[in-house]
A = this chain, B = another copy of it.
Amino acid sequence: MNGAAYNGEEVPQGQPLSGLMQDWPLTLDRILRRMETATASATLSVATDSGTARYSFRETALRARQLGAALHGYGIGQGERVASIGFNTRQHLELFLGVPANGTVLHTVNPRLSEDHLEYVIGHGGSRLVFVDALVAGQVIPLLRRSPRVEQIIQIETDEYEEFLGSARSNPGASVPLNERQAAALCYTSGTTGLPKGVLYSHRSNFLHALGICLADGMGVGSRDTILPIVPLFHANAWGLPHAAGLTGANIVLPGRDTSGDALARLIHAEKVTFTAGVPTVLSSLLEAANRNPGVLDSLETAVTGGAPMTKSLFDGFARHGVTVLQGWGMTETSPNVSLSRPPRETDGTAQAIPYLLSAGRLNAMVDARLVDADGKELPWDGSSAGEIQLSSPHAASGYFRNPAAGDELMDGPWLRTGDLATIDSCGYVRLKDRMKDLIKSGGEWIPTAELEEVIRSSPRVVDVAVVARPDERWGERPVAFVVAQAGSSIDVAELRGCLKSRVPGWWIPDTFEVIDSLPLTSVGKVDKKALRNQVSAV
């Protein structure tokens, strides 16, 4: 299809000349093809209630193709959504790989969503067919039955699922023609600021994001790795790790439903895992388990964390086991990974590496950014000018599924508004200061709550803290801190105030400190600031 005109003798003038390279769409069925050829002998290991089961990539790809053929047989056409509600199991991985390869869109649903949100996303996504993990079937199925569009519910890890797979009438090897811009997956944001919003990934965006994960400067995933994705498949494509593994032949280890620290540590040891990824709270439990079982992490080289800030103590704790923790930054809207905290070589082995390790990391090769101040003016990348960081990337969203109003709010022209206040230094390292919406404006000045919380968190006897704004007639807004004390100790608010005086500007110090047992969390484990704000406004 690439141009007969210039392939021949005549070359047109004054217009772009098309290259004479192969038309090779970046589509996810190529990952299955890889798993049938160059990465066929890599293994998928899955922890189940009855021990660890092992499969080759070749078998996994075959079953994923079979699933696509079964969907076709059922009458699911191109562009239709199929939902999955489950954990990191063998069957969920088959759905993850097989549904998009058939031209269908996999809508991954977080099983821990509130009933309201679950009903909303199922209705909004519009799947006729829903695959459900047995562990949550009891709660979820009655809700699904209420959704008018849902026709069939299939429990995975059951005969129902195997029968469905066996129903494939077309040839599982027959491939559906795909274009790289077509939708592959649908994932809703957690909805801390309203109803969940659907991000509709394309084949191209998922493919390019997976390549990004495999870059030496990215997570560096490759054929020499054995990967344990603790991060769930419903959490922004499990950060692209299953795609990256399929492409490169990194072995995959799936934890199934038990993601306790001890279970993960045992699995890492038994399967010689070299690379893992999960949110900081999960990595903390893993670290505690490893501290009780020296040597259990011997094979592990790298753990990537994201979704919430990493602490220095988490980094140091893993370093004592010979594991490097890298922090990634991203959003559901960006596939997710946009940066990674790999320090520059010249800081190796020095204390200068620490601020880089604790930063949001360096912008990936396929991610462009700009910083914008309140007036829309672009700010320099000098490491000190702070503005909203906006992103441009082939794996960043340009809108939301069936929600043009939210899409308009998301975009500032071609740039995605992250809602994060950040600096970028001259080497592309991003430092997040705060969520724009968490900033407190007091007497015309900004108080970055994330920075303030970090200082409070490092005070004696404080385990955790969240600061939110209370409306104030005189100042506009004033900070209120919710503080959690160490088990068995109490917090002396006067002493805490004294301690803060020397470390932050006086007007940052919260007017009120509420000591509470634990911070409220959202369905994805982030601090629910909306709930805290409602609480202080109601006072």
Q: Are A13 and B79 in contact (CB under 8 A)?
A: yes
How far does the alpha carbon of A18 sit from the alpha carbon of B399 in the complex, in Å? 12
Closest Cβ–Cβ distance, residue A70 to chain B (whole Å): 18
- Is A138 interfacial (CB 8 A cutoff)? no
A22 contacts across to B, CB distance below 8 A: 392-394, 396-398, 414, 416
- Is A103 interfacial (CB 8 A cutoff)? yes
How far does the alpha carbon of A183 sit from the alpha carbon of B17 in the complex, in Å? 5
Q: Are A211 and B365 in contact (CB under 8 A)?
A: yes
Task: List CB contacts (< 8 Å) of A1-20 with chain B.
Answer: 2, 4, 6-9, 11-20
- Given A4-B404, A41-B426, A216-B216, list of 15 further CB < 8 A pairs? A13-B79, A18-B202, A19-B182, A20-B397, A21-B205, A22-B414, A23-B398, A24-B396, A37-B428, A38-B381, A40-B381, A211-B365, A214-B215, A223-B342, A224-B344
Q: Are A105 and B428 in contact (CB under 8 A)?
A: no
**Least CB separation from A343: chain B residue:** B224
Select one of B4, B14, B26 contacting A78, CB under 8 A. B14
A510 contacts across to B, CB distance below 8 A: none
Binary flags per residue of A436-478, CB closer than 8 Å to B gives 1, else 0: 0000000000000000000000000000000000000000000
A401 contacts across to B, CB distance below 8 A: 6-7, 20
Q: A20-B400, A204-B19, A381-B37 are in contact. Are A215 and B215 (CB under 8 A)?
A: yes
A363 contacts across to B, CB distance below 8 A: 38
Q: Are A24 and B394 in contact (CB under 8 A)?
A: yes
Binary flags per residue of A381-411, CB closer than 8 Å to B gives 1, else 0: 1000000000011111111111110010000
- Is A362 interfacial (CB 8 A cutoff)? yes
Q: A16-B183, A183-B17 are in contact. Are A2 and B398 (CB under 8 A)?
A: yes
Copies of the protein in its oligomer: 2
A215 contacts across to B, CB distance below 8 A: 211, 214-216, 222, 248
- Is A200 interfacial (CB 8 A cutoff)? yes
Binary flags per residue of A219-237, CB closer than 8 Å to B gives 1, else 0: 0111110000000000000
Q: A37-B381, A217-B248, A362-B223 are in contact. Are A398 and B202 (CB under 8 A)?
A: no
- Is A199 interfacial (CB 8 A cutoff)? yes
Q: A2-B399, A24-B394, A223-B217 are in contact. Are A179 and B16 (CB under 8 A)?
A: yes
Consensus secondary structure, chain A interface: loop
Select one of B183, B217, B427 contacting A222, CB under 8 A. B217
Closest Cβ–Cβ distance, residue A410 to chain B (whole Å): 10
Q: Are A427 and B249 in contact (CB under 8 A)?
A: yes
Task: List CB contacts (< 8 Å) of A104-129 with chain B.
Answer: 105, 126
Q: Are B365 and A34 in contact (CB under 8 A)?
A: yes
Q: Are B400 and A200 in contact (CB under 8 A)?
A: no
Can you report 29 A-B residue pairs in the complex whose CB atoms are below 8 A from each other?
A: A6-B402, A7-B400, A7-B401, A7-B404, A7-B407, A8-B404, A11-B79, A13-B77, A13-B80, A17-B183, A19-B183, A19-B202, A19-B204, A19-B205, A20-B183, A21-B205, A21-B394, A21-B396, A22-B392, A22-B394, A22-B398, A24-B392, A40-B426, A214-B216, A215-B248, A216-B216, A216-B221, A217-B222, A249-B428
Q: Are B224 and A20 in contact (CB under 8 A)?
A: no
- Is A377 interfacial (CB 8 A cutoff)? no
- Is A320 interfacial (CB 8 A cutoff)? no
How far does the alpha carbon of A404 sit from the alpha carbon of B224 in the complex, in Å? 42
How far does the alpha carbon of A395 sit from the alpha carbon of B20 in the complex, in Å? 10
- Is A188 interfacial (CB 8 A cutoff)? no
Select one of B39, B368, B397 contacting A30, CB under 8 A. B368
Closest Cβ–Cβ distance, residue A62 to chain B (whole Å): 15
A78 contacts across to B, CB distance below 8 A: 14-17
Closest Cβ–Cβ distance, residue A336 to chain B (whole Å): 13
- Is A181 interfacial (CB 8 A cutoff)? yes
- Is A201 interfacial (CB 8 A cutoff)? yes
Q: Are A20 and B211 in contact (CB under 8 A)?
A: no
Closest Cβ–Cβ distance, residue A12 to chain B (whole Å): 7
Select one of B103, B199, B393, B428 contacting A20, CB under 8 A. B199
How far does the alpha carbon of A183 sit from the alpha carbon of B7 in the complex, in Å? 12
A6 contacts across to B, CB distance below 8 A: 200, 401-402
